[in-house]
Structure 1
């Protein structure tokens, strides 16, 4: 990520005055800011796990061909968008401020370079959040999942070509519709190239890849900044990795429309002389996803259907709940279909070699998701709520002792809540929770009930001293929502969040807690993500997606008088009719019966620029790419009916 994202908050946090306590109190801090309670909790977990087992490290290092002297990637403006050296501190024994299991995973994810998986299969790991795999074909390289950004993909491919035969890209495969697996494609091939080479993806890929996050994008982006620790320093008191990898590269994102779609399991295809057998796995880890098997290599690519950690059934940035039953069934299907595989590799992490080891890994992944599903439903059918189930559920030792099933990314607690939500929704059946008071109102009344701010603060202080950080955070959250300017309350809440972060085995949980602590002390950063970097992806999105996005930005209270508008995209030869009825925006392709006194003629690209905010309507009225039939003032009024979402809204304060 750009260095501007990193803020020197560690010194500030560590310099905060300690609460009054004797040296033996759980509040006593180690040199890195971990309390005695946190140290004890992390040590207890370390004793429960086989942390000395080196097999994963042996596998992660196996086949290393070369690593760059400096893995630093810059954009065209010279800004750093990816620098692995930011994680050089992740070495040696776990500091007390990091969960030792997460530290182990972070060390594994630091192992980077160009690797030989087997003859004809190579991986670039550590050049971005995800892996890029190269399969040697007869005439060129078949590229699997070209990373997140154009800059990192180009850097990785250029490095690979220093050590492998210099051949062109002969095909591209997108295993699924998440941006860290397709966003860098324009760093490898020009968009026109998809007329010349196969670009292969699962059915529904382009729609899912371009529509994800458009409607709820501002909220998801804001929450993603917490989930990935975007504003945190990279050190033992800050961001150490996401569990799934290090972190995403915030470079220039692109996409190419596939010309070959996979829509069934068992589909066979020879790509540049290499036979492939595909497995179609929609609505698993991604809405559009596939895995594949290389029979000549006896190699199974698990995409992100499986990975070396427990994945998300629900992601903290916000997304639709994933179906644990389907997910588990797809893994079992792959286990049977590709039972001859003696090599496994995927879109994240490191490979596995040996049929027995691969079968055991797939069985563990299969059973992890099915266990979460089955036991959550068992308990909800016995009347337990989502919170009660999350607190009760534990993986059996046969799964929990295997690091590939640990909650480094998803967690048992929030995944069980996802299963509950998928079946039961937000309401737990208790009428007191059917129409609760707003958070700030509830908080004010709890503070009053506690006897005032000072009394509640003292209760929270006692909880903190006892190492009961979850309860301290619960109390202090009420205090801060009732009185956002309560300085001591904000400080102690931040300190509680930090200890919870230091204990978290999940990379995203750690980042969420530490990001919240930072914002309580420093306020919300104005370092918003530059959405113009998404322009190329948005240009491939159907224009109807943008009208859907406009619908959820309509200021309904001002919209009841506006009638209709036709927008004609001059370069697409496509026209859409928009009208407002009952303070709701509707849209559809123009019909012969649709009449409107107002018509905007605009190029697709200029329209996208307008929506991104890089081109304003008033400034573009004289552009050759835009003309208006009808009242210009009425057109301007139409666009003023849509608000610009607040991208840096508060999360930890009202």
Structure 2
């Protein structure tokens, strides 16, 4: 039985009240601009998938209606941001450019050309993308889609592509998909990030984005950049067909000019900014947002280069700063007016460069990442701007991320070079100090409102004995209050999900970035990389296997071998192959990453095997299965 959340303590209520002094509460301009240009709300306020499961329901956020004041259980800055982004609907940004916002974590941007529509980013799933396009066609223009543009390699920008375009039209060349980087590079980063490390990333994302929580003042408010995302959606993928690899490249599409600024190694490994001169409209993708962004995501993507954020924003200002009249993003709402856009981009540029420079200044003085994060603060001219607040990244973990990017994972302190595991350290600490003394200190810290220390000291009891119900409950209380005080919604999500799982046990996953469609779209080299991370190295240490795979629907053959605990593969067949497996890619994917399914596929004729079939059984014995619900707050 699920245990209800507890209320905010007096200490948390006081902390959230005191936080008001840090914020520019007198700056209310965003409440006008976030609602500007509304054409139509989401019909019925609810969206379902083909199975009838709810993808989006406006009633989940009814507690935000009417702009009520922040409750004690929510940081007032996060409450304000949540009120601003809780505006689901179709919006006019400028002539010929509309957005559907907040029926998914990402915006669907639609540009109207002379004879068709250009879609810029496609949301995370087919259902919100399809519904957004239908809403546009109902109220604005019923034209065909003539091009799709991905601004970067993240799932909430390409996952809905099959909701706006037919795969056959892309394959035939009728509808191009334009994206940054080479086609191979985009595929590698889009699919590799979300699939090869997808199980771990999805589990961590379920904490950070609050996917396992209800919505409400004592649960998840919003994710800080949209009011919804990640529930019951169908993720799709189509590879780009038209790569952008240099700044200054242009495309003329349906009577409009699209000029690109190539900005790799920023918010994503492959990313680009887009300028439409006829509309004087600019997007810097996720390099400029109504939020500080992540330099290192809490879900676990590659560490970004904060200096590059600043560098490419400055280059954008040089190229188009004199002309731009509106900046629209793939999340949140636009910025209108040349002066406002330039001010916005300059401030974001300076924020990322300040974080980068100050982190390295302190590193060069001998600070560790955590020590630096505790003392770096943005100057008021930057920190009091709402769009620089930490609704996605936070200043604290972004400073630490600069250390990771520039100096690596070690913090420079010998004690952290080869520490004991958390469980082993916990058992030693409890044996030394005693359970009762640690528990008493946890109670004292809770009573004093010292929740960071309470969570830290009680961690040892939980990791020494995961069945210690009293310690789990007390640590949950500490995490819950930390969540209520957090300005960053991902910090809130992590703390509140930790509290929930300490009280109720692991909540089953509701979303996986490694969707079937994404896995099937993998280029074959990445497919074998995906198979390789499933191999149990210890179990495979003495294995000596070589298997050829014939992809009958692609006309390609690859040879795969496992020796010394490592899976390698390359194009072509091998005269030393012990077995040859033939079939369509969809079936061979299952043989590679779910080999226990191979027998059924062979039996029903979907897959054919020649040679020594026992090689397939041997391979099955060394392949690991991933648990999507692995433990986080317990050992």
Please tell me the TM-score bracket, short chain as reference.
over 0.9
The answer as to 2:172 corresponding to 1:202 is: no
**Paired position in structure 2 for 1:106:** 82
- 1:215 paired with 2:163, answer no
How far, CA to CA, are the matches of 2:583 and 2:139 in structure 1?
48
Question: For each residue in 1:466-492, what CA deviation from the matched residue of structure 2 results, as whole angstroms up to 9, or x when unmatched?
Answer: 111000111000111112121111111
What is the CA-CA distance between 1:624 and the residue it aligns to? 3.3
Of residues 278, 296, 301 in structure 2, which corresponds to 1:314?
296
- Give matches, 1:103-182, under 5 Å: 103-182=79-158
2:21 matches 1:40: no
User: How many angstroms does 1:206 deviate by?
Assistant: 2.6
Deviation at 1:631, TM superposition (A): 2.1
Aligned residue for 1:238? 219
Question: Of 303, 308, 314, which aligns to 1:326?
Answer: 308
1:425 to 393, 396, 408: 408
1-side partners of 2:194 and 2:281: how far apart?
33
Kindly indicate whether the alpha-carbon contact (under 8 Å) linking 1:148 and 1:179 is maintained by their aligned counterparts in 2.
Answer: yes
Query: Structure 2 CA distance, aligned partners of 1:247 and 1:112?
Result: 10
Give the corresponding residue for 2:483.
Answer: 501
Give me the whole-angstrom Cα distance separating, in 2, the residues matched to 1:80 and 1:431: 51
Deviation string, structure 1 residues 353-412 (Cα, Å, up to 9, x no partner): 111111110011101111111000000110000110011111100101100000111001
In the TM superposition, what is the alpha-carbon distance from 1:69 to its structure 2 partner? 4.1
Matches of 1:416 and 1:531, distance apart in 2: 27
Q: How far is 1:556 from its partner?
A: 2.5
Residues 369 and 400 in structure 2, CA contact (< 8 A), matched pair in contact too = yes
Q: Which of 478, 481, 497 matches 2:460?
A: 478
Do 2:195 and 2:513's aligned partners in 1 also have CA atoms closer than 8 Å? Answer: no
Please say which of residues 88-97 and 521-530 is displaced more in the overlay.
521-530
Paired residue for 1:370?
A: 353
Q: 1:402 aligns with which of 343, 360, 385?
A: 385
Cα RMSD of the aligned pairs, angstroms, is 1.7
Q: Which residue of 1 aligns with 2:31?
A: 57
User: Are 2:199 and 2:512, in contact at CA under 8 Å, matched by a contact in 1?
Assistant: no
1:557 Cα deviation after fit: 2.8
Instruction: Write the deviation string for residues 266-309 of structure 1: whole angstroms up to 9, x where unpaired.
Output: 11221110011111111111111111111111111121111100
Which segment is superposed worse, 252-261 or 115-124?
Answer: 252-261
1:178 CA displacement: 0.7
Query: In the alignment, is the contact (CA less than 8 A) between 1:469 and 1:500 conserved in 2?
Result: yes
Determine the structure 2 residue equivalent to 1:522.
504
From 409, 425, 435, give the equivalent of 1:453.
435
Contact 2:45-2:57 within 8 A present in 1 as well: yes
Structure 1 counterpart of 2:616: 635
The reply on whether 1:645 has 2:626 as its aligned counterpart is yes
Question: Quick one: distance in 1 between partners of 2:423 and 2:364?
Answer: 33
- Mapping 1:548-587, distance limit 5 Å: 548-559=529-540, 560-587=542-569
Render the CA deviation track for 1:487-536: whole Å, top value 9, x for unaligned: 1111110000000000000010000000000000111123454678x222
1:563 Cα shift?
2.7
* Distance (Å, rounded) in 1 between the aligned partners of 2:42 and 2:196: 40
The residue number in structure 1 matching 2:600 is: 619
Instruction: Give per-residue Cα distances to partners, 1:296-325, cap 9 Å, x unaligned.
Output: 111111211111000000011111110111
User: What corresponds to 1:595 in structure 2?
Assistant: 576
CA 1:529/1:350 → structure 2, altered by over 3 Å: closer, same or farther? closer
1:88 to 59, 62, 67: 62
Q: Does the residue aligned with 2:243 lie in a helix, a strand or coil?
A: strand
SS at match of 2:114: coil
Contact in 1 for aligned 2:545/2:615 (Cα 8 Å): no
Alignment-derived partner of residue 538 in structure 1:
519
The count of residues paired between Structure 1 and Structure 2 equals 625
Residue in 2 aligned with 1:20? none
Structure 2 residue ranges without an equivalent (≥5): none
CA contact (8 A) 1:577 1:594 kept: no
Q: Distance in 2 between matches of 1:322 and 1:508?
A: 18
SS at match of 2:412: coil
Paired with 1:378 and 1:647, the residues of 2 have a C-alpha distance of 40
C-alpha distance in 2, partners of 1:611/1:550? 6
Given that 1:276 and 1:295 are in contact with CA atoms closer than 8 Å, whether structure 2 keeps it comes out as yes
Secondary structure at 1:621's aligned position in 2?
A: helix
SS in 2 for 1:557: coil
Q: Take 1:365 and 1:189, find their aligned partners in 2: how far apart are those partners?
A: 34
Tell me how far 1:215 sits from its aligned partner: 2.2
Question: Which residue number in structure 2 is paired with residue 381 of structure 1?
Answer: 364
* Residues 606 and 615 in structure 1, CA contact (< 8 A), matched pair in contact too: no
Whether contact under 8 Å (1:171, 1:272) holds in the other structure is no
Residue 89 (structure 2) pairs with residue 97 (structure 1): no
Change over 3 Å in CA distance of 1:615–1:641 after alignment to 2: closer
- Indicate the SS of the match to 2:178: strand
Q: Deviations over 1:112-135 (max 9, x none)?
A: 211111111111111211111111
Distance 1:612 1:175 in 2: 30
Q: Shift of the alpha carbon at 1:610?
A: 4.5
Q: C-alpha separation between the residues in 2 aligned to 1:343 and 1:528?
A: 37
Instruction: Name the residue aligned to 1:512.
Output: 494
How much has 1:575 moved relative to structure 2?
1.3
